[in-house]
Amino acid sequence: MNAQDAAKAASFYATDAVLYPPGQAQVRGRVAIEAYWKAAIDQDALHDVRVETIEARSASDLGYEVGLFAITV
């Protein structure tokens, strides 16, 4: 994100991931997530992105991460 590279940022998501932006509709799938981040980058809306993982777990083919995500807009 800090490199302003939506494709690279989206590559860290599973193909069927769901993004839950605060106060907005969920964004489903890596392609849609890339478009979401690209729109934010194109609007020069992302600065000083910080991610902190609190917990990450997986079982069989399911995985999830709980964490804090801070963006200066």
Measured distance CA(34)–CA(38) in Å, rounded: 6
Enumerate residues 6+ apart whose C-beta is below 8 A from 4. 41, 46
Burial class (CB in 10 A: 0-12, 13-18, 19+), 10: buried
Measured distance CA(26)–CA(22) in Å, rounded: 9
Question: For the whole model, what pTM was predicted?
Answer: 0.77
pLDDT at residue 69, as a whole number: 82
- Map residue 50 onto helix, strand or coil: strand
pLDDT at residue 57, as a whole number: 92
Measured distance CA(32)–CA(16) in Å, rounded: 10
Tens-digit pLDDT profile for residues 12-41 = 998 999 998 889 999 999 999 999 999 999
For all residues of the chain together, what is the average pLDDT?
91
